[in-house]
Amino acid sequence: MWPWYNLASMTLRIALEDVVPIIRRVAEEQVLTRFQRLAQHEIREKSPGNLVTVADTEAELALTSGLMNLLPGSLVVGEEAVAVDPAVLDQLAGDEPVWIIDPVDGTMNFARAIPRFALIVALAESGEVRAGWIHDPIRNATVMAQAGGGAWRLDSTGKYPLQRAAMPSLRDARGVVGGRFGDRGRVHDILERGGRVGPLHRVTCAGLEYVDLVEGRVDFAAFSRILPWDHAAGVLIHREAGGTSGFVEDRAPDPVAYSVRRQAGLLLHAPTGSGWSQLREALIEG
């Protein structure tokens, strides 16, 4: 364990591992206890095609309490709180430390009893992500990172550093993609009809797509739905594992292009800068 965050106004110091028990406890008590056991009245639409369950709301409440107690004076922006009151997002505009929470990422899978969902937590300050955690409750494994301190996997066998592998040839590169690239159409369709990349999968759970990315099960990822609770932790973890990220519209990868305050653009991730540029070209020309 090592101290990584120090509020100037207080002596409180936190280690990455201090947050893991909070996330895992919430996963066990509020999420896994309800997996494959949801009653119909515990699932509803908060907007057309966008589900929320009792596990989402209860997990967010429990995470909010635990994280604010861990870091007094911090704020919280949770997906479900924003759904009720969009003004909660305004807390990202300040300089205070803000926890960003997705209590059950992949709610559609969770509600359908498909074991592909995650809990995501990030800590941001002045729009920049300082630390992030993605927890896979089914495997009881957490990937996490601190800004400037590397990326790690923590599971029952120990703690291991994460490092992106080299980019394969573009034709062999495996990807996970979601959404549209402006008026050009769906990202999946653009890359598929171009025939310049390998197998493609569609995004079903952003948190676990990032885990697959940093652990090498896919080579690249592209997202057009840019919500802070989906990406804040994953972007940092990917960067700290040595990956390259950037918005396709910005023409070149930029390690500081992502901000929790930015919610538009096609966010592209690859192992290397050259791989990122090749993928961008395939999207532009596809």
Q: Which residue has the tokens 């090592």?
A: 2
Pairing assessment for the beta strands 220-223 and 175-178 based on DSSP bridges: parallel
Give the H/E segment covering residue 237: helix 228-240
CATH of 170-285, one of 3.30.559.10, 3.20.20.450, 1.10.260.40, 3.40.190.80: 3.40.190.80
Fold observed for domain 5-161: Fructose-1,6-Bisphosphatase; Chain A, domain 1 (3.30.540)
Q: How many whole angstroms separate alpha carbon 107 and alpha carbon 126?
A: 29
Q: Give Cβ neighbours of residue 10 (< 8 Å, ≥ 6 apart).
A: 72, 73
Would you say residue 3 has pLDDT above 70? no
CATH 3.30.540.10 segments of the chain: 5-161
Query: Which amino acid is it at 260?
Result: V
What is the structure's pLDDT at 256? 58
Q: How many whole angstroms separate alpha carbon 185 and alpha carbon 193?
A: 11
105-141 pLDDT, tens digit each: 999 999 999 999 999 999 999 889 999 999 999 999 9
What is the structure's pLDDT at 255? 57
Q: Which residue has the tokens 């926890």?
A: 99
CATH 3.40.190.80 segments of the chain: 170-285
